Each structure stands twice: as structure tokens, then as C-alpha cells.
Amino acid sequence: MSVLTDYLQEEAGKKKKSAASWTEDTLKNAEKCTWCTHVGKFVHPSVENVAVFVPHNISSQDGAVYTENTVCETDIAVSANYLATAKLLSLELEDGKNVLTHFKNDSVTLRQDFMSLGVDYEKVKEQVLKTKENTVPTDTDDRLRQVYFPINDSDYHLLSILPSSSLMMAVRKRIQEMDQKARLARDNKSETYGEKHQRIFNVTCIGIGGTKPQNISYLNNKYGGKTYMFMSVPPNIEKRDVSRPKKDFFRETLPWWQFRELFRLLRSSYAREQNNMEARQNARTAEEHIIDKILTLADCLKSLPEGWSDDKKVSLPEAQKIWLDEKYVSQRGEETEWKQEIADSMARWILRTYEIITKEKTFGDTEIVALRKEIIKAL
């Protein structure tokens, strides 16, 4: 058995057909598939016959990110009726190459797999090689975004702006992989617990195609019609003096109203009727955002000159001195008791602030214990 034969038999079984019959019926529609990287339907779902293929995996050292120099999947412009055909042609086999590539290379292994199921290989190969590739549309569409680009005083190019669906889905996949790695790095039961990781904040999730992602493209349907957009505005940096706490970091440096929206998000997670894995994960994510914001404010104090907490006007608890003053950086790494004290103080502050903002008590002993564990991992 192989990846291909297993897939064909499974899909044929769903339709209560033989593998040979299902395969031949599916691949006879190969000419309906247009391989591409840019799809007009991503701009407007009614755009027809506008799709462009840009070769990728080309090495470039110019510092920019674009479709040509990014490893990303090739998309397929296809109607929802023929998604099964697109999925089969895109199926990656044991050698990492998809079914279409094997057809073009007249792969012996592919031929043997099809013939073992009774498929007329030469017949389906003829149909598959009608698949459209490297097409350039002859017409644009008035629903696309048009840019008049001047080239001299009297002439211009009319440009139709197409998003790269291949690049968009590659970005989505990488962001999700980064988030998954970050979650595992903070889970003390994970094999990668404590490893360095990266996260991208302030991304916006957008939906393409609404409730019918299958009407846009193959990749859009494959990834549920969801992708991400990065924030693209310049930072608004205001230089301010860091407010130094004198007695208690949590009471003096963390105004509860700055956390109002985060705590409301946390409440909505707790208020869900279904206590399933998704609800618990949403609650953990909201708690992580609150903890991250607290740690960000704490990091501001670490930028102050070493020894600032030894000032006569400052009487911070010893654990907060170790945590916030770079003078105690070596002590911070060698000792662990301060982490437990900070975790207890932070958990109490989160509990108290949650009650102030939501006017209700939701944290039980189980939630508090789990919260302390999350804080210690973050520290």
C-alpha cells in the first residue's frame, strides 16, 4: 500500500464507488483546474478567470519577502464542484512531490499504483495533462483594485492588484507553527519546555469567502478560509519616565483600567456554557496576555540604573527587588524562592482585579493553582 492507493480507496469508499471508478471520474475534470499563486477571487468572490502563476522557491538575497523567494504551496483556481480533483492532484506522495508532478514525469511508481487499482493510467494521464499551468489572463476585471501608474507625461500602465494566496497561506501556517511552539515551550509536560521561542503579536485574522471558503480557491478551502494580516502602521513611541514603585509593584505600577479589555476577554472565556478544550485554551490565552502585559511593565523597570531599589525612599519586598532591579540579576538566576512570592502576588492581583472589573467571583482553587503555574513558567 502507498499514500496514493490508501487515499484513493478511502475517498472512493466515502462515495461507495470502486477506487478505479472514483479516480477516473475525478481526474476527468483536471482541465477545470488552474494552478496559480495569485487568485482574483481573493479580492472579490465574483471575479472569474483571473489567476496568475509566479514560480517560487527561487533564491534571493535582497531582503524582501515575496512569492518568488518564499517556500509556499501552489494554489489552484477551481470551482467548488471540482475541489476533489484539485485535492487529488495536490496530494503529496512519499518523495515529497505531488500527483501532478508524478504525471508530468510519467512516474513508474504512479503508473503501478493506478494499475494496481484497475485505473486506466493512459486515459487519466491524458486528462491530467490538460491542467492549466503558467497561465496569464488576457483580461482584467472591473471588480479588482485598479492602479493607474504613470510612465511619462501622457502614458500610464493600468495595474490590477492581486493578492498572493500562496504567500498568504504560507504566512498563516508559519504563525500557527510559532504559536504552537510557544505553547509547548511554556508547558512543563512538553519535551520542548523552556526552549526559546518567538511570537508575533497584533496580527488580525481575516476570513476569505465567508461561510463558503470553497468558492475562492483550493488553498483557501484547505485552510478554512482564514489567514492573518500584520500591523503595518509605524509605532507611536512616546518617551516617558518610568514610574518607580516605592512599596509594592502590583499596587503602584499596574492601574487596573489599563487591563479592562483583557479581563473582559477572560470573563467571556469563563462564561462559555461548554467547558471543553477550546474554552479552556481561550481562557489560558487570555491569562497569558494579562501576564505578558504585566511582565512588559516590569521589564521597563529593569532598564533603570542598577541599584535603584536601594534608594531610601524605596521599601520594596525583597522578592520584588530581585525581580525588578538588574543589580540582583545573578541572584535572580541562582534563587527560586522569589519566583514563588512574585507568582503569589501576581495571582492575587489578577484575582482582585478580575473581581473589580467583572463584579463577580469566578476563580476557584483549581484556577488559582493553574494560574500560579502559568506565572512561574512565564517568569
Residue appearing with cell numbers 512516474: 107
Residue 169, burial from CB neighbour count under 10 angstroms (0-12, 13-18, 19+): buried
Q: Which three cell numbers stand for residue 179?
A: 504559536
pLDDT of residue 172: 92
Structural contact between residues 149 and 157, judged by C-beta atoms closer than 8 angstroms: yes
DSSP codes joined into one string, 75-129: EEE--GGGHHHHHHHH-B-TTS-BHHHHHHTT-HHHHHHHHHTT--HHHHHHHHT
pLDDT of residue 329: 86
Q: What whole-number distance in Å separates Cα of residue 309 and Cα of residue 198?
A: 31
Residue appearing with cell numbers 489578577: 350
pLDDT of residue 242: 67
Half-sphere exposure of 100 (CA within 13 A, CB side): 20
pLDDT by residue for the chain (379 residues), tens only, comes to 789 999 999 999 999 999 999 999 999 999 999 999 999 999 999 998 889 998 876 666 677 888 888 888 999 999 999 999 999 999 999 998 999 999 999 999 999 999 999 999 999 999 999 888 877 788 888 899 889 999 998 999 989 889 999 999 999 999 999 999 999 998 888 898 888 888 888 889 899 998 899 999 999 999 999 999 888 888 777 666 667 888 998 888 887 778 888 888 778 777 665 566 776 777 778 888 888 888 888 888 888 888 888 888 888 899 989 898 888 888 888 888 898 899 988 888 888 888 888 887 766 677 778 888 888 888 8
pLDDT of residue 271: 66
pLDDT of residue 273: 55
**Amino acid symbol at 143:** R
Dihedral angle, C-alpha 19, 20, 22, 26, nearest 10 °:
130
pLDDT of residue 31: 92
Q: What whole-number distance in Å separates Cα of residue 100 and Cα of residue 74?
A: 12
Does the reported pTM lie above 0.75?
A: no
- Helix residue ranges per DSSP H, the chain: 3-14, 19-27, 83-90, 99-104, 108-116, 121-128, 165-185, 218-222, 249-252, 260-270, 277-302, 318-324, 329-334, 337-358, 365-378
- Among 376, 238, 239, 242, CA closest to 309: 242
CA-to-CA dists, residue 129 to 34, 68, 102, 105, 146, angstroms: 12, 24, 11, 11, 34
- Burial code of 319-356, b = ≥16 C-beta within 10 A, e = fewer? bbbbbbbbbbeeebeeeeebbeebbebbbebbbebbee
Q: What whole-number distance in Å separates Cα of residue 125 and Cα of residue 95?
A: 20
pLDDT of residue 61: 65
Listed in sequence order, the residues at least 6 apart from 220 whose beta carbon sits closer than 8 Å to its beta carbon are: 39, 42, 75, 165, 169, 208, 209, 213, 214
